[in-house]
Chain A
């Protein structure tokens, strides 16, 4: 299959032009991989719905990243563990306030060594203005232990978790694609070396490799994405390698070689577009896996830093809150994650079906 042509090329062939045959003329080029896939995808209703949900999430992430939404997630806007608005404010706690002192107020200023300085301190204190911010009794979906808005946190956490997953997947895809292309196209010594590297990385269980990297790289959004990328490239490498081996002997690549296309050009301008659909599907599978790993790492305190919020850190806080009956943070993080992950997985399934119909029904 040739690399995809823009829609304009196909269109111009269909439009009747004076002097040539009318509408039923042959298109100049057959429709490309992506065009055909898009047509198939449009018919998949579940796929389109999940795509729309993912698009909504992307919109929300863009809004939080630019600071238009959930900017003040770190502000303590409510009372500690403020319940959601639909539940009403928390009942007053039973513990009675300390009893007010009874009896006459004795004047002890004669013996109080600090007495002469009270007036001076009061004067100095008056120079500073303190603003008493009223703390909300309830928040739209409740507050956490220190009174931060759970809804804002969940939105900001979505940004962090999805960013880590996406970033990790993109880097892993780059590593896997470049190494797979090299290994598949050249074979020989390079291929053997890469195969050895692959066997080394895959012989160590994923989670152990991730933890080993986590010890070394420390915490933070960037390092988690990096760790996941360094561990997760292997599957993609293997598949890209297999595709490159298959394609490198195909006629179109040989023709390209015959007309003098350079090695790089053959690898990345000729073969790569023809295997890009495989890469895209693999990459979206990685995103889901990486998001789950990020949540686990952050829960264990090895993920994003303390100044960030992610679904994992929210779940870590939620564990102790649940015992006190404050379920809202747990529910918020779970629902956001479940909806996104389900929609993204269904979208990946639809993408796979659309881009690679041979794989349909094969899991």
Chain B
């Protein structure tokens, strides 16, 4: 296991190297001149020149790349051009808000979709089964934007059940007051397709011989479903959750923009609008790294769920 972990971590290095190269050259080759963005519209030539020297933009590209790598290795991501806030501080202060919204969505999505999927897979072809399939096709055909626009209008503005948007410093207030509406809207869109996906996993397992054997032994349906089918279906389900995990760091950006939640996703959009290169670059590299780590964690988790899986 240790050897496996070390090898996987070792294999990450070229990929991570590639991500850094991609991000570096993308902005270097195609981006606008950072000095001119920083100096603003009414800057004199001297100011632009001074900023260029300060940022080291007059150095050859390999020196700049070296500095860039050094920054990444020492976790010194630099400072935001727009607010002069250090990027590390930006992560630390924005991440909690993102997690406050996204964790409930992920957990509730899974907890709601699992039993429904199991039920519809068990009663395959019934009315409920077909209703779920139609609902998921319809739910996916309308843009999430529409759900948010209408949801805010109906529940926030017309009915007044929830505040239209807002955020506070207390986690509890956030969870009770500000989080329910975005979470509800996300579930409205997410649960049906999730159910549809899990349903196929369950269907796959229900067709196996061991289910027939278990029934033949005289086990109750409950035991068959929960002790045999569920445990086997957990493998693809866990993969799916693992794949969704990196998304919770940034996937919420639409929700965060609409509901004025000061999270990482909104910060990305702000950075994009301000051409704030250090923030975008750092976030991209950082999230790529997290994604790789999570994928590794999911692979290890397989082993725990299913002892037959051999890690190689």
Contact = CB atoms under 8 A, between A and B. Distances in A.
Interface of A: 196-197, 199-201, 203-205, 207-209, 211-217, 292, 295-296, 299-302, 311-312, 315, 318-319, 322-323, 330, 334, 337-338, 341-342, 345-346, 361-363
A203 B197 contact: no
Nearest to B23: A212
B253 A345 contact: no
B62 interface: no
Given A322-B149, A362-B200, A338 B141 contact: yes
Contacts of B26: 212-213, 216
A213 B280 CA distance: 11
A334 B145 CA distance: 10
A205 B153 contact: no
Contacts of A296: 143-145, 254
A200 B149 contact: no
B200 A215 contact: no
Nearest to A334: B146
Given A296-B254, A302-B272, A363 B197 contact: yes
Interface in B280-294: 280-281, 283-284, 287-288, 291-292
A363 B141 contact: no
Contacts of A197: 18
Nearest to B154: A322
A330 B146 contact: yes
A295 B145 contact: yes
Given A212-B280, A295-B145, A342-B138, A196 B257 contact: no
A334 B19 contact: no
A311 B149 CA distance: 14
Contact of A203 (B137, B142, B288): B288
Contact of A215 (B140, B141, B272, B292): B272
- Binding site of B, secondary structure by majority: helix, strand, loop or mixed? helix
Contacts of A211: 268-269, 272, 280
B93 interface: no
9 residue pairs, one from A and one from B, having the closest CB atoms = A200-B18, A342-B141, A341-B141, A363-B200, A216-B30, A203-B288, A199-B15, A204-B288, A338-B141
A204 to B, nearest CB: 5
A204 B253 contact: no
Nearest to A302: B272
A295 B149 CA distance: 14
Contacts of B273: 301
A326 B163 CA distance: 22
B14 interface: yes
B140 A345 contact: yes
B145 A199 contact: no
Given A196-B14, A342-B138, A208 B284 contact: yes
A334 B142 contact: yes
A208 B283 contact: yes
B40 interface: no
Contacts of B142: 334, 337-338, 341
Contact of B291 (A196, A203, A330, A341): A203
Given A312-B145, A334-B146, A362-B200, 18 more contacts: A197-B18, A200-B15, A203-B15, A212-B23, A212-B280, A215-B31, A215-B280, A216-B27, A296-B143, A296-B254, A300-B269, A315-B146, A315-B149, A319-B149, A322-B149, A341-B140, A342-B137, A363-B197
B104 interface: no
Contact of B143 (A212, A214, A302, A315): A315
Interface stretch (B66-74, B79-87, B243-251): B243-251
A209 B284 contact: yes
13 contacts: A203-B288, A204-B291, A205-B250, A207-B250, A208-B283, A215-B277, A216-B31, A295-B143, A295-B145, A311-B143, A319-B149, A337-B143, A338-B142
A196 B250 contact: no
Contact of B153 (A196, A213, A322, A346): A322
B18 A318 contact: no
A330 B146 CA distance: 8
A346 B141 CA distance: 11
Contacts of A196: 14-15, 18
B157 interface: yes
A71 B16 CA distance: 49
Scoring B19, B140, B145 by chain A CB atoms within 10 A of each residue's CB, the highest score goes to B145
Scoring A199, A204, A319 by chain B CB atoms within 10 A of each residue's CB, the highest score goes to A204
A319 B157 CA distance: 12
A300 B268 CA distance: 12
B19 A204 contact: yes
A342 B135 CA distance: 11
A320 to B, nearest CB: 10
Contact of B196 (A318, A319, A363): A363
Nearest to B18: A200
B241 interface: no
A213 B26 CA distance: 8
B275 interface: yes
Interface in B190-242: 196-197, 200
Interface string B127-164: 00000000001101111111001100100010000000
B22 interface: yes
A205 B291 contact: yes
A330 B250 contact: no
Nearest to B196: A363
Nearest to B284: A208
A205 B247 contact: yes
Contacts of A208: 250, 268, 283-284, 287
Scoring A205, A209, A319 by chain B CB atoms within 10 A of each residue's CB, the highest score goes to A205
Interface in B254-311: 254, 257, 268-269, 272-273, 275, 277, 280-281, 283-284, 287-288, 291-292
A199 B273 CA distance: 28
A211 B254 CA distance: 13
A214 B30 CA distance: 11
Contacts of B138: 338, 342
B206 to A, nearest CB: 13
